[in-house]
Amino acid sequence: MTLLPTLPFRVHLNAAKGRAGAPVLDEAGFRAARGAITCWPGYAATPLVDLPGLARTLGIGALRWKDEGGRFGLGSFKALGGAYAVARHLIRTLAARGITATDADLAAGRHAALTGDITVTCATDGNHGRSVAWGAQRFHCRAVIYIHETVSDGRAAAIARFGAEVRRVPGTYDDAVRRAAEDAAANGWTVVSDTSYPGYTDIPRDVMQGYRVMADEAFAQWTGPAPTHLFVQGGVGGVAAAVAAQAALHFGADGPRLVVVEPDRFDCLYRSAVAGTPTPSPPGPDTLMAGLACGEVSILAFDELLYRADAFMAVPDEAVAPAMRALARGQDGDPGVVAGESAVAGLIGLALALGDPTAAPLALDASSRVLLFGTEGATDPELYARLVGAPA
């Protein structure tokens, strides 16, 4: 039985692994992020869901899904990164004024008279902006969030619920990134982004260190023989780089193969890996995988991935709805899983690669044990219902 129709995709084996790029996420930074985030009120490890029925459908040995839909009530793993980076920025800003503060101090409003004058900003397709807005509300500063023209009204409203000012700009996600940076420079605001570029790396590094908590949980929750493959979403590369760094820390040099998957309409990581240098994807039609609609890589993330990833894949939008429906309905006795449009990229990559001779170097077979990262739940309930045919 096949999970998806036969669809075209592209795969690039990373011959530069271990020879180009460089590790950029240190262990000390991760431990600081984990120590802070796990002490936040409401923290709980999200579940690792075993999907043996789907594994049988695909013809592999095991399949497990790290379900981020319940993370801090925000619906995605992004809650780990943006909010953590907001707290770190506020703590550093206060320290420059001679004031020592902790996350708990900020959350309690002990320095709100000072932090209330600080504005953080970012561009977003939805989930990262929600995290930054939530972090600003939690730690008592102001947030201005930029969205581009195709971000849904539902995602905009979800950001505004946390007290942020939401500004819609024409163009793409990358246009919104540039507008946020321009307005921040003009107004003295601070950009909190997971997209790094020359001269802007400290905050994106904090964001990615926060993301590593998700991978750390998943690896600790995995039982039995270790996974052989990790399929993880692309975008600018932040979450994939976080997973790559954590896998290296947890499993060592002989860990599972890491495959980075992104939409074929926004394949900047794929193109960059082929070229060996950051390379944008050309303008084109939008993608259903809204959280991965990124035309330019994060330079930090790309360095980590060029050094650690085994392969890069670009997959078509036509597979998104079938993958979401397969998870929602369950396969062969599996529980139903609510997965948003961007969450299914890894599953699409896995399903299309299995049995296709162009992906043979990935060494997927009947004994493979695969970990997928379900990075978001139904963060746009209306779109989810339309694609799946039923509400979340």
Given the DSSP bridges, would you call strands 311-315 and 257-263 parallel, antiparallel or unpaired? parallel
Helix, strand or coil, per DSSP, at residue 119? strand
Instruction: Select from 87, 81, 77, 80 the least CA-distant residue to 108.
Output: 87
Q: Is 125 noted as a catalytic residue in this protein?
A: yes
Position 385, amino acid: A
Q: b/e map of 241-271 (b: 16 or more CB within 10 Å)?
A: bbbbbbbbbbeeeebbbbbbbbbbbbbbbbb
Q: What is the residue whose two structure tokens read 């029925």?
A: 53
Give the separation between CA 361 and CA 373, rounded to whole angstroms: 22
Residue among 17, 66, 78, 334 flagged as catalytic: 78
Alpha-carbon distance 263 to 313, whole Å? 8
* φ/ψ (deg, to 5) at 232: -140, 150
Among 125, 206, 267, 303, which one carries the catalytic annotation?
Answer: 125
**Contact, 301 vs 351, CB < 8 A?**
no
Residue 76 · residue 129 · CB < 8 Å: no
Q: Is 67 considered catalytic here?
A: no
Q: Distance (Å, rounded) from C-alpha 25 to C-alpha 206? A: 9
| H helix runs in 97-126, sequence order | 103-107, 112-115
377 close to 339: Cβ distance less than 8 angstroms? yes
How far apart CA 392 and CA 378 sit, in angstroms, is 6
Q: What is the DSSP letter of 161?
A: T
CA-nearest of 221, 314, 216, 229 to 265 is 314
Catalytically active residues, by annotation = 78, 125
